[in-house]
């Protein structure tokens, strides 16, 4: 496993510490006491050293400590190397599990200690539940509920009438799902149209109702303004992406829908960096895309929409869509940088990618560097308050108090 044991409590020293709760100011020259799986204490380093005199000190120099990151939107069984969804979904269970294992460790080494898989086959819980310690925390949605031949249908969640909705939901719950994902519109799956609604209002209402009956939060891949409105009308908990497509497929924005998202407290997993790597690959000549200009326009529009929603006070959490298309695991820094460009201050950004995301995923005592909370910690090279690129320099990661072996994926 990708862990080296940690013997007894230890005092970590860092140049800067963010709590994860943006109401708590960042602290310079901080000490964090880790004991077992939890944080025992934290505060100015000198005070910590006095109070915990006998503990060995692990000095991380001028690095910044933040809670382990929480990625609310990944696809663990997908390679993120431009492989088509149709090809990846056809792989054997053994291949998919091996892919999930590599992806989870790659993300862990990038500081992601918790993640939500929002689309996979129904056998993923079997893989997760068979793992030892040393992997990120995983919240799994299993097969997204989708229209017949709808977006992501190859994972097995096709449904239409009320009976088949009930059955698809029940099969996910039986398989061990923790949350619900809906494909409320088409997407990149061949034969689907991103701005086209996949379900009627009555069907969406039934899906949200069924999910809530099982005590699960429900989120929707919703690419259009109309689908965002329909999902909110159904009482959905969260929406994925901020594309706000018009009926003709043009990227746009709706002030009324934005205000409704903010007012209702619907959680928005913005995924605004999904095109950043493919744009880079195209510019380097490693990927060909005749719709390059359209791709860039969508990326700009997503960023602007995130900015508008943030200004309105919408609840935005961090998600990458890692696994799909060219979106690689281990690159959550792209989303952090994107949200920063969309107007998030550093403390707000850390909050959106740790404490608030963990609360949304119902992870107990995860997402803060505070006494009694899980010792999930990412150590970033440099002073994060002054340098957003610190997210590209992950020096060490602790998951449940244990230092991750950073060579795991190299
Ligand atoms: Zn996705």
pLDDT for position 409: 57
Numbered ranges of CATH 2.30.40.10 in the chain: 3-68+365-404
Domain 69-331 adopts which CATH fold? TIM Barrel (3.20.20)
Determine the distance separating the centroid of ligand 1 and the alpha carbon of 190, expressed in angstroms. 15
Backbone angles phi, psi at 24, to 5 degrees: -100, 125
Would you call 15 helix, strand, or coil by DSSP? strand
Report how far residue 96's alpha carbon sits from residue 172's, in angstroms, rounded to the nearest whole number: 18
Per-residue burial over 35-53, b if 16 or more Cβ lie within 10 Å, else e, is bebbbbbbeebeebeeebe
Q: Average pLDDT, stretch 135-148?
A: 98
195 CA → ligand 1 middle, Å: 15
Q: Cα–chain-centroid distance for residue 365? A: 17
Give the three-state DSSP class for 159: coil
Q: pLDDT of 290-323, one tens digit each?
A: 889 988 999 999 999 999 999 999 999 999 999 9
Question: How far is ligand 1, taken at its centre, from the CA of residue 311, in Å?
Answer: 25
User: Would you state the pLDDT for residue 323?
Assistant: 97
Spatial separation of the C-alpha atoms in residues 207 and 209, rounded to whole Å: 5
- Which runs of E-coded beta strand occur in 271-310? none
- Greatest alpha-carbon pair distance for the chain in Å reads 66
Q: Which pTM does this prediction carry?
A: 0.96
How does pLDDT run across 352-405, given as a tens digit for each residue?
999 999 999 999 999 999 999 999 999 999 999 999 999 999 999 999 999 999
Q: How far, in Å, is the centroid of ligand 1 from the Cα of 146?
A: 13
Nearest to 164 by CA among 152, 150, 148, 184: 148
Å from CA of 27 to ligand 1 middle: 35
Give the Å distance between the CA of 49 and the centre of ligand 1.
Answer: 45
Cα of 61 vs centre of ligand 1, distance in Å, is 37
C-alpha 17 to ligand 1 mean position (Å)? 31
Class of the CATH-defined domain 3-68+365-404 = mainly beta
């Amino acid at each position: 496993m990708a862990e080296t044991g940690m013997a007894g409590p230890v005092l970590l020293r860092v140049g800067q510490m963010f709590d994860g709760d943006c109401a708590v100011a960042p602290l310079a020259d901080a000490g964090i006491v880790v004991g077992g799986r939890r944080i025992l204490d934290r505060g100015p380093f000198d005070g910590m050293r006095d109070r915990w005199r006998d503990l060995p000190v692990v000095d991380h120099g001028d690095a910044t400590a933040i809670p382990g990151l929480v990625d609310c939107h990944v696809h663990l069984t997908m390679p993120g190397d431009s492989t088509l969804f149709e090809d990846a979904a056809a792989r054997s269970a053994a291949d998919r599990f091996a892919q999930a294992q590599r992806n989870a460790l790659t993300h862990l080494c990038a500081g992601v200690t918790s993640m939500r898989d929002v689309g996979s086959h129904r056998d993923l819980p079997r893989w997760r539940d068979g793992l030892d310690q040393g992997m990120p925390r995983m919240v799994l949605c299993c097969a997204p509920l989708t229209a017949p031949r709808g977006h992501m249908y190859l994972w097995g969640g096709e449904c239409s009438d009320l009976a088949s909705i009930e059955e698809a939901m029940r099969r996910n719950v039986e398989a061990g799902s923790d949350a619900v994902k809906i494909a409320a519109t088409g997407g990149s799956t061949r034969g689907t149209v991103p701005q086209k609604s996949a379900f009627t209002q009555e069907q969406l209402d039934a899906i949200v109702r069924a999910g809530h009956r099982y005590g699960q939060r429900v989120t929707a891949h919703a690419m259009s303004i109309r689908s965002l409105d329909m999902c909110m009308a159904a009482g959905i908990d969260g929406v994925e992406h901020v594309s706000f497509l018009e009926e003709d497929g043009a990227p746009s924005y709706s002030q009324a829908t934005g205000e409704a998202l903010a007012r209702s407290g619907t959680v928005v997993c913005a995924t605004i960096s999904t095109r950043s790597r493919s744009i880079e690959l195209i510019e380097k000549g490693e990927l060909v895309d005749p719709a390059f200009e359209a791709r860039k326009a969508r990326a700009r529009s997503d960023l602007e929409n995130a900015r508008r929603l943030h200004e309105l006070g919408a609840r935005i959490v961090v998600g990458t869509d890692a696994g799909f298309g060219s979106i690689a695991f281990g690159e959550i820094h792209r989303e952090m940088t994107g949200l920063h460009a969309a107007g998030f201050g550093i403390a707000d950004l850390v909050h959106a990618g740790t404490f608030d995301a963990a609360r949304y995923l119902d992870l107990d005592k995860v997402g803060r560097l505070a006494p009694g909370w899980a010792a999930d910690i990412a150590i970033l090279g440099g002073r994060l308050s002054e340098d957003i690129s610190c997210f590209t320099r992950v020096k060490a990661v602790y998951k449940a108090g244990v230092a991750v072996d950073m060579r795991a994926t190299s």
